[in-house]
Chains A and B, each alone.
Chain A
Amino acid sequence: MSMPQALKRFLQPALMILLSLVGLYVVALVYATGETLLAGIMLVTLAGFVWIYSSQKTYAYRYLFPGIGAALIFVVFPMLYTIRIGFTNYSSKNLLTFPRATQYLLEETYRAEGATYNSTLVSEGGRWRLRLEDADSGAAFATEPIALVPEKPQTLKAQPLNVPLAGDEMPMMDLISHQAFLKGLTVLMPDGGQIRMTGLREFAPSRMQYTRNKDGSLTNNQDQSLLRPNMKTGFYETATGDTVDPGFQVDIGWKNYVEIFTDAGLREPFWKIFIWTLVFSTLTVVFCTTLGMVLAVLLSWESLRFRSVYRLVLFLPYAIPGFISILVFKGLFNNNSGEINLLLSTLFGIKPTWFSDPFLAKTMILIVNTWLGFPYMMVICTGLIKAIPNDLYEASAVAGAGPITNFFRITMPLIIKPLTPILISSFAFNFNNFVLINLLTGGLPDLLNTTVPAGTTDLLVSYTYRMAFGDAGQKFGLGAAISTVIFLMVAVISLIQIRSTRIVEDPKR
């Protein structure tokens, strides 16, 4: 408050300029590491920040910027980026970007002809001297003392050693931790040869494997053959078409989509999983809603005592964290030692194989999901039933109607309409109920004859998850393509939901 007005007026733009300069510096640093996309996003964010917080016209957006910015960067952008990845060959074989793959190849070395040297690091006054001993002749050389700071690759000169070095040798453990630094060293020998690290205790003449040519091809220094980057396959290739690892990410157009819908090993599991996803979400909604609605009706019945106790107990599955109750069921349903099978075998003498039989696994999933989901529907329906005017029931009692008639003629028709959007959103939620499947069965038991592992209990989302993060070789591109297909399906469901919400809201207006 005591700050002079003039100083305040000056301080704000000064701070703004300082902030944007720091921001620009960071952006430049990121750009220099080759992360163009990240640098671009940061630049746009920075520009938006400066514009919105310096112009009076954009006052309202000052309140929106942080929240909407976070939503755009961490929700909308990943979704668009997923679609983008769906058109690439991004996978464990083509993991790197093109510049990084090129850089990787350019750092490769090969062992050239010449003498090998046994190397040791010997301490001298807190620094280290690299001692090199010719493996054949025994002639010894050493460099000047150096500090083992991980710096950029450097070249050292070695001189013939006449007096033996007195210091301690570096133990193996420390050598390993300094490996990265040592690998960057080039040692110039008195005879003019260059040697590099070829083993933990060995230096030998080594040359760079590849040299980059102006047209982007790489010349193999060992045999003078040429490697050309193939932007269709995402590999450097020799003249005969052999690929050289590592591969890099390239656009492959619609290939992933064509594969999903034509490759027999992908198409069949895709449709099977799609149908199970539909069946699973439909049945879940039907079971949860039926049970939830019946309970809501019962718990709204005033002649019933202990209603609040029942309500509290029946609400429990909603309050317990999902990941815990799902894992508890995984243990309880265990084929051999699970408590449910113990109970069933003592009562009926049966031991269903819940996890290895596809039908039983699906049954178990539905049982567990109904257990998890009915309290939510119960709470929703209770709220809706409360809103029904009591005189409707009084009128029907006068007409002599029983509770069943009341339910089907009054309660159900009155709550089904406002319930519809919630049913659809519940359907959409279960359509993508990854946590349940991943924690309970992991998609198992698996289907046979599939290109990538696919399970009989897998939903589309858990199928893509296994494709990308499972043991199938990180097929990110293919997984992203299937994710994009699911995006479209969810979009259709959402559209239906918005329509139905509008139908619900209209009569009120």
Chain B
Amino acid sequence: MAIVIDKSQRWRVLAAHAFLILLCALVLFPVLMTISISFRPGNFATGSLIPKTISLEHWRFALGLPVTNADGRVIIPDLPVLRWVWNSVKVATLSAGLAVLLSTTAAYAFARLKFAGKKASLMGLMLMQMFPTILALIAIHAIFSRLGHSFPLFGIDSPWALVLAYSGGIALYIWTIKGFYETIPVEIEEAATVDGATPWQAFWRVLLPMAVPILMVVFLLAFIGAVNEYPVASVLLRSQDQLTIAVGSKQFLYAQKYLWGDFAAAAILSGLPISIVFILAQRWMISGLTSGANKG
């Protein structure tokens, strides 16, 4: 009896491995292909997975260094990849900082203070998050182009407009931080209050230092969210120099200007750091992910 089970078990294990290896191959195929293409000479060349001749022209292009063509012409890269990455980092850092700032105090009120309309506003925050920003894109464009008439700093084509537009999407972060505050025993703050601390001091000096890990998680979530955000950025940013990498990357693959190899290098250059941050922070984020952020 035991031998029979073992035999069928062995077959099943083998079948499972075969299936998983096939799937891993399908997952890795685009990744490895991109790496291979980025080292392949030319934008239209075809070849095997391991390129026969390794060329750094695409990497030079992505880094903004002049490239010497096969026929001897020198090409100055016209797509400012590094500048786009820098724009993304700038916008993402500012908006993630703002998101932490705005959501941490609001979450404190929801977790610790009593006020009228608490339940309704919590529910409202959850409802708000169900309607994707993309549906309000036309209004966002109209609002910021009108805002730009009065305050050019916050008009179309300004990174500050993007920071402002992202600052409202904090419902999920408020919920995440509120959940964390609720795991901290309220007695610690009460002890501080007994010793004469104001509620603000109890929050700032006692609760907040204990909440640093969750604030890091929210910062990273907001940072990655802002770097990956495409729709709002594609509407608010127009000129080449202001684009974020998410909007700019599209320009590599126009039918009339197809820079496949250059794109591969730029994709690795910009995608690798984000992916690494994401995988490292993944364990922290699982709680955040399961509570609603979703992709796919």
Contact = CB atoms under 8 A, between A and B. Distances in A.
Interface of A: 29-30, 33, 35, 37-38, 59-61, 63-64, 66-68, 70-79, 81-82, 84-85, 90, 284, 288, 295, 298, 301, 303-304, 306, 310, 312-325, 327-332, 334, 337, 339, 342, 369, 371-377, 379-380, 383, 403, 422, 425-426, 428-430, 432, 434-435, 438-439, 461, 464-465, 468-469, 476, 479-480, 483, 486-487, 490-491, 493-494, 497
Interface of B: 9, 12-13, 16-17, 19-20, 23-24, 26-28, 30-31, 33-34, 37, 44, 46, 101-103, 105-106, 108-110, 113-115, 121, 125, 127-128, 130-143, 146-147, 149-150, 164-171, 174, 199, 203, 224, 227-228, 230-231, 234-235, 246, 249-250, 252-253, 258, 260, 263-264, 267, 270-271, 274-275, 278-279, 282, 286, 289-290, 292, 294-296
Contacts of B143: 77-78, 81
Contacts of A487: 131, 135
A374 B127 CA distance: 25
12 contacts: A75-B171, A78-B140, A313-B24, A316-B27, A318-B295, A327-B263, A328-B33, A434-B231, A465-B231, A483-B137, A491-B131, A494-B130
Contacts of A61: 109, 115
Nearest to B296: A373
B27 A318 contact: no
A63 B128 CA distance: 20
Of A29, A288, A312, A318, the most chain B CB neighbours within 10 A belong to: A318
A217 B28 CA distance: 68
Nearest to B129: A75
Of A37, A77, A304, A319, the most chain B CB neighbours within 10 A belong to: A319
Closest 8 CB pairs of A and B: A373-B296, A74-B168, A67-B106, A60-B115, A78-B136, A63-B109, A81-B139, A75-B168
Given A301-B16, A371-B27, A428-B130, 5 more contacts: A70-B102, A72-B168, A85-B142, A314-B20, A429-B295
A461 B121 contact: no
A213 to B, nearest CB: 27
Contacts of B260: 331, 334, 337
B261 to A, nearest CB: 10
B134 A461 contact: yes
Contacts of A403: 12
A313 B110 CA distance: 39
Given A61-B115, A304-B13, A325-B30, A70 B295 contact: no
Given A75-B133, A376-B296, A483-B136, A328 B267 contact: yes
A71 B274 CA distance: 26
A380 B290 contact: yes
Contacts of A317: 27
B265 to A, nearest CB: 12
B106 A298 contact: no
A319 B275 contact: yes
Contacts of A428: 130
B108 to A, nearest CB: 5
A456 B160 CA distance: 36
A335 B234 CA distance: 26
A73 B289 CA distance: 26
A224 B9 CA distance: 96
Given A70-B167, A75-B128, A314 B106 contact: no
A373 B295 contact: yes
Contact of B278 (A77, A304, A319): A319
Contact of A60 (B46, B109, B282): B109
A426 B296 CA distance: 7
Given A64-B109, A67-B105, A373-B296, A432 B267 contact: no
Contacts of B199: 59
Given A66-B101, A68-B121, A329 B30 contact: yes
Contacts of B20: 295, 298, 310, 314
Contacts of B141: 468-469, 476
Contacts of A298: 16, 19-20
B152 to A, nearest CB: 12
B171 A71 contact: yes
B130 A497 contact: yes
A381 B113 CA distance: 36
A302 B246 CA distance: 40
Given A70-B168, A468-B138, A376 B174 contact: no
A313 B101 CA distance: 35
Contacts of A334: 258, 260
Contacts of A332: 30, 33
Nearest to B110: A64
A20 B256 CA distance: 55
